[in-house]
Structure 1
């Protein structure tokens, strides 16, 4: 077994310090550091379905298929999003982790900087059919520019505006809002009788980042400058965060209780008719799991600003969302791990898995299936191709998600408690987040 280099461990330690609460990594019998048998792999999958059991049910038959074809058994663990980053960071620090794992594509550069992940050079890409099989924008979110990717794309997603057709009809609203001004106007018509217009998840740090990243682009701002230095409290970034929190604090179209919501709680409210709209990535399968039927909801692009002064990226209305598949570099079963990645990114499996999860295959050939031409997925594919931007591919990206995501969470808590959310208070929170990055 090869140990993680000291320099890589130092980078990981700094990332761990910025993470919420480390949950511990793999144990001595759970991953690559355990002299895993050549005919066995450990795989950490992210929670893509409505709950962990749903993912077990989806992935179980596919992993059995892989075992039948290769003789390699896959030990699966589905890890909740609330734990996944900390589990990965702990594993990179200890050298005890799985052989193969899912990572949020926004973490690619941060995890790449640890040195713990297998680089996807030409030889490794050749083992899975070649780099050119994948959509270019998906590869662009797999690691820092100028370096071999740290992972390969598995599921591609984009944000969309989902809306409840029945609630819109009852409120006399003819169409979904296309601009943020329309969002507020429409939202006030829908926020009545104990129901609310828009769902949010103030306690979900990653989702907070995704929303304010898009709004910052629309305000002509980034959270990092060209040299990779944080610019969290720039005027455009401050305006973006304030605009998002003001949907609760000033516009009153998000329920105050959403300030504490975590992963998927806003989707449950939407499916149960408590909120009329939600901004989410590839949500159709989750809606169905909560009893909704095709046709109950509509889907439209995320709103953009109306008029106003032009700014860089004003038409951006989603981050390039998705899940990547990575291999721990110190695995004792490189050959088996490459076979598993080849299987999971094969045209056949890409159609099966992305169809089930309501995501878009990042493998070009798999997109030709008619299942990916639905109304929902057409909006997502168009967004990915025309108006989505990748989150900053910088080593500090995971720290950024924690620091700024927490700042937004705290501002939502202020809004829910009736405390004023001002330009000054937003700037102070973002300034504090920037100081945390520096330390």
Structure 2
């Protein structure tokens, strides 16, 4: 999922809101990429960690950047930054005026970073330089900034949540198909929790993962976490139901292990891949599962279960996940940055890069490739286009991820410690998060 000329007051507010935010839905090289670039034949690029590790990203990106240099004569200085430090680096660049020309951001941060005024707006003129807005899927573009403004970034990798399930463990438990509703997930999870193994793995120590699941389940319960004016509604009845339902995977239902309350570094993916848990709710996990030794034939992918079979927002199965490409508004190499954005969103590069990362091209014309017709990606692409919703594109969205995510983390910790998690305790945590956000907004 940034810019060099935002005002200090705005930056301080964002720093409070964003510091704890990591990403959708993970350091760097030794390249010195600090400082604005005044060389028209050079760009600095901060890439987010999309692969299994930093070295993987360098192997994927370096040949492509050399290809860009050969085509344009513009050298790209690459730094791959892990998710747990990317936002701090962006905010430091925003306040100091020293940063890259182009960088990746989590798409859920788009509106918050857009509010600093430091991102290049993709108005009609700039959008024309990359072929126009119609090239991008509407759902991906909807997660690129506030709806009443020009997009703050361009989508380059699209992701969606899916329910991954272990085929053998399901068969051994006598389960013929993946659950379609939450009640079915709990029922199946209890059948699968046996012999030291659990029905599902969760990443309870990661505030961002927590906030994503709170949002998805919240939509299923009719909660938006913000009212139409942008004010937080973190402790609405639907939001409380959503967070409790998620935490209850450990607390009440006991189909996820208590130790998962501390997971924050993709440990849940590892546990699923190694057969310690039979289900996992994750974004485009194929690459990570492969790196953990799990073969595609060993798992299936289905949409995240809903509360009841139906449609509309209560049938939401994912947030619109993905990575966007942004440009510093005051870069000294705007022409080179636009050329690089065009290159990264070209059909050829979209096919190549999204294949490498197991993600979905947000450029529609790049999706016609057999690589994106695998069983898992077909499910995720359908979810993305028919059953997903963007996280609220409001200035305070990042605070939602930080504060609601941490509140959920604390509730998971309570569950793991044997403390009872009730509707009242969930509401208390969410009310405190809401009050904290309002206090920050008044500063």
The alignment status of 1:383 with 2:383, answered yes or no, reads yes
Alignment partner, residue 432 of structure 1: 432
Shift of 1:34: 3.4
Choose from 132, 135, 141 the match for 1:133: 135
**Aligned runs of 1:248-259 on 2, under 5 Å?**
248-259=250-261
**Aligned runs of 1:286-435 on 2, under 5 Å?**
286-306=288-308, 313-435=313-435
Q: TM-score, normalised by structure 1?
A: 0.94
SS at structure 2 position matched to 1:227: coil
Change (3 A) 1:14 1:72: same
Given that 2:29 and 2:79 are in contact with CA atoms closer than 8 Å, whether structure 1 keeps it comes out as: no
List gaps (5 residues or longer) in structure 1.
Answer: none
Q: How many residues align?
A: 432
Shift of 1:401: 0.7
SS at structure 1 position matched to 2:156: strand
**Aligned runs of 1:37-436 on 2, under 5 Å?**
37-306=39-308, 313-436=313-436
List gaps (5 residues or longer) in structure 2.
Answer: 23-27
CA distance in 1 between counterparts of 2:182 and 2:20 reads 35
SS at structure 2 position matched to 1:247: coil
CA distance in 2 between counterparts of 1:73 and 1:426 reads 52
CA distance in 1 between counterparts of 2:390 and 2:287 reads 24
Given that 1:118 and 1:326 are in contact with CA atoms closer than 8 Å, whether structure 2 keeps it comes out as: yes
Shift of 1:28: 12
Change (3 A) 1:267 1:330: same
Alignment partner, residue 15 of structure 1: 14
CA distance in 2 between counterparts of 1:291 and 1:385 reads 30
Given that 2:157 and 2:359 are in contact with CA atoms closer than 8 Å, whether structure 1 keeps it comes out as: yes
Shift of 1:35: 3.7
State the Cα RMSD in Å: 2.1
Given that 1:221 and 1:312 are in contact with CA atoms closer than 8 Å, whether structure 2 keeps it comes out as: no
Shift of 1:29: 5.1
SS at structure 2 position matched to 1:144: coil
Q: TM-score, normalised by structure 2?
A: 0.94
Given that 1:220 and 1:311 are in contact with CA atoms closer than 8 Å, whether structure 2 keeps it comes out as: no
Given that 1:202 and 1:259 are in contact with CA atoms closer than 8 Å, whether structure 2 keeps it comes out as: yes
1:19-38 Cα shifts (integer Å, max 9, x gaps)? 34699x9999524x434422
CA distance in 1 between counterparts of 2:6 and 2:51 reads 35
SS at structure 1 position matched to 2:199: strand
Given that 2:30 and 2:79 are in contact with CA atoms closer than 8 Å, whether structure 1 keeps it comes out as: no
CA distance in 2 between counterparts of 1:195 and 1:235 reads 33
CA distance in 2 between counterparts of 1:5 and 1:303 reads 41
Moved more, 187-196 or 107-116: 187-196
Change (3 A) 1:3 1:343: closer
Shift of 1:5: 4.7
Given that 1:95 and 1:330 are in contact with CA atoms closer than 8 Å, whether structure 2 keeps it comes out as: no
Change (3 A) 1:438 1:312: farther
